Structure 1
Amino acid sequence: MGHHVQSWDIVSQVMTTMPDTLPRASARPGMFLLLVAALSVPFYLLGALAPGVRAGDVAVPASATMFVVPALAALVLTVRQRGAARALLGRNRHRPSGFRRWYALALLTTPAVTVAGVAIACAAGVTTPALPTTSPAAAPALVVFTVIAAACEELGWTGYATDPLRRRYGTLAAALILGIVWAAWHLPALIQAGHPPAWLAGWCVGSVAARLLLVTLHATTGGLAAPILAHAQLNLCVAYTPGYDQPALPWICGLLTTAAAITAYCAAARGTGNDMGATAFERRDTATAHRE
């Protein structure tokens, strides 16, 4: 238990000195969600009119370019408030020291889930072993693109909306709220791509679980780097997963992601005495300042 408390004290020291925390008064997560919905409409219309592409075995509509919307919405809500937009952008550069296990979790969870999911699907006979249809030569460009897309999304979902919701509802409830909204936000684009209801349902289960993982990574590291890395891995693994267009695989991977996310959340919660609200950081910041 002492090791966990020490780890969270390190987080507190980092967060006490970081200049990128948004002022409480400036954070309006409800308005952010409404603005995301409104700004996404033109992209949904684009998806209905323009042809899409394929990322491996998965169809990707033109509306997928809406990954810029969360960052845009967050900037719109902070640009007129002194220092708020700068603080928001500063969170993307934050690199807390330590916590190597959480960064390892960000990088390795989705690849491990994907490999296990494909193995289970092949063993169950719902898909056949195959090589990815995406060329390995495309990997560098895909890595760059997925990191940029993930950074744009997480600047809004995590950098702007997560901590105010955590302060109000706690980490688990905030993750579920954002996870459900996040999944619903993607649904029009996925429907445009022609995915059947069974596929969509499995994908939604995995997305809500993935959001819990991303929120937990943010809570444990205090910054955006780990959630961005984990989010980028989600998209990169889809591009290189053979058979992901079959409904069974999103379900299998979604359930495995749920197990991984719950495990990560419980491990983090044990380290704070089951207190995973954003206010836990603030209390520890105060205690650290008093000790110093």
Structure 2
Amino acid sequence: MNATASTAPQLRLLLQRHALLAFFGLTFALSWSIWGLQSLLADADPISAGWLGIVAAYGPTLAAIALAGLLAPEQQASASPRRQRWLAGAVLAGTVWLNITVVSNPLESTRPAVAALLWLVITLLPAWIVWNVFSRRRGVRDLLRTLAAWRAPPIWYLVALLLPVIISLLGLALLALLGQPLPPWPRTEPMRELLPLLVTTFVATLLYGGPLGEEAGWRGFALPRLQAHHSPLVASLLLSVVWGLWHVPLHLQGVYHGIFPDGLPGILLRIVITIPTTVLFTWFFNRTKGNLWLVVLLHTAVNNTAGFWLPVTVGVYAAMFIMTVTLIITDRMWRLRPPEHATVHAYSHIT
């Protein structure tokens, strides 16, 4: 027991010194290993394979929660237990509704027991993360607390939900100004069918399309530590490379076939395109004082806009580039942020 007791502080000190490397390593290990299992199951049990892919997308957030708890395991009094139960219960009700009405039936799987277990996992996982917003562990609570910070100025809700739409429309306008043909509209449903579809897709994207599973990791855990030693611009460039590489298994599975070129060119193009998105997310995270809830909404809007109900075009990439340069210049993102604005949690002063 003495040996165990002496090992824990040493392990914590090692993690503090190399928190970013530990986070990136654990994130890749979790996501890539599960995506590997998904590939093995893809032909034999596509339903279970699809749900494994959802679990894999939660790798960054799960890694961040695990490390945050190890770095600052001090126990605090339970905060707002009533609000904790209410929020987690609301999320659980939403995932149950979504998975019953939209997601495949586990009994249709060739391995119904496995599929039922994975259905239960993806149903409980979002509610478990919200439950941990009020965790008794100081590190976990500090990491996730802004996931419940929805009382933000309305302007930031408008930016999160409408900016991706504005960028897409500006991209189409650029094509029209240059006399280029406009691509076909992705959606052909009548408006009375399209609006409910947009709402359902938005919720599904938020829960299962990456935002909730990634943002506590990329922006909540990694970005503050990067910005503790680098400017927002350099931090964004570094994070964009890691974020882009994290998607490699999906490229190898052909998920982005038709969107990106196959093989290495597609992976490199993904990293290049990830740069302006990361700069945007960094700017938004800093401007909203590290509000993860708003960043999750922005991530959802980006994923839900591009290719689902607005077309992805060269004009969109051009508009993103213009926006990126504008944000860098107007926000002077090449300068280090003052320590009081670094949005780094108390336990994360060593990276």
Normalising by structure 1, we get a TM-score of: 0.70
Match of 2:171 in 1: 117
Match of 1:163 in 2: 224
Q: 1:177 aligns with which of 216, 229, 238?
A: 238
**1:143 corresponds to 2:208:** no
- Asked if structure 2 preserves the Cα contact closer than 8 Å seen for 1:71 and 1:153, the reply is yes
Match of 2:160 in 1: 106
1:70 positional shift = 0.7
| Structure 2: distance between partners of 1:126 and 1:203 | 25
Match of 1:217 in 2: 284
Point out the structure with max Rg over C-alpha. 2
Deviations 1:10-49 (A, max 9, x none): xxxxxxxxxxxxxx95981221011111111223214423
Match of 1:13 in 2: none
Amino acid at match of 1:74: A
Q: 1:71 to 1:131 in 2, by over 3 A?
A: closer
1:128 positional shift = 3.4
Match of 1:33 in 2: 24
SS in 2 for 1:269: coil
Higher RCO (CA < 8 A, seq sep 6+): 1
Match of 2:61 in 1: 71
Match of 2:297 in 1: 229
Task: Name the count of aligned residue pairs.
Answer: 245
**Equivalences for residues 76-87 of structure 1 within 5 A:** 76-80=66-70, 81-82=73-74, 83-87=138-142
Normalising by structure 2, we get a TM-score of: 0.60
Match of 2:94 in 1: none
1:118 positional shift = 4.0
Q: 1:131 to 1:96 in 2, by over 3 A?
A: closer
1:265 positional shift = 3.5
- Asked if structure 1 preserves the Cα contact closer than 8 Å seen for 2:186 and 2:311, the reply is no
Identity of aligned residues (%): 22
1:190 positional shift = 2.7
- Unpaired runs of 5+ in structure 1? 1-23, 54-59, 284-292
| Structure 2: distance between partners of 1:190 and 1:282 | 34
1:93 positional shift = 1.7
Q: 2:145 aligns with which of 90, 101, 113?
A: 90
SS in 1 for 2:304: helix
- Unpaired runs of 5+ in structure 2? 1-14, 75-137, 344-351
SS in 2 for 1:128: coil
| Structure 2: distance between partners of 1:199 and 1:119 | 26
Amino acid at match of 1:220: R
- Asked if structure 2 preserves the Cα contact closer than 8 Å seen for 1:206 and 1:258, the reply is no
1:278 positional shift = 5.4
1:69 positional shift = 0.6
**Equivalences for residues 7-18 of structure 1 within 5 A:** none
- Asked if structure 1 preserves the Cα contact closer than 8 Å seen for 2:171 and 2:316, the reply is yes
Deviations 1:233-287 (A, max 9, x none): 111012424654xxxx2x44233223213322333338xxx7452525269xxxx
Match of 1:279 in 2: 339
- Asked if structure 2 preserves the Cα contact closer than 8 Å seen for 1:70 and 1:153, the reply is yes
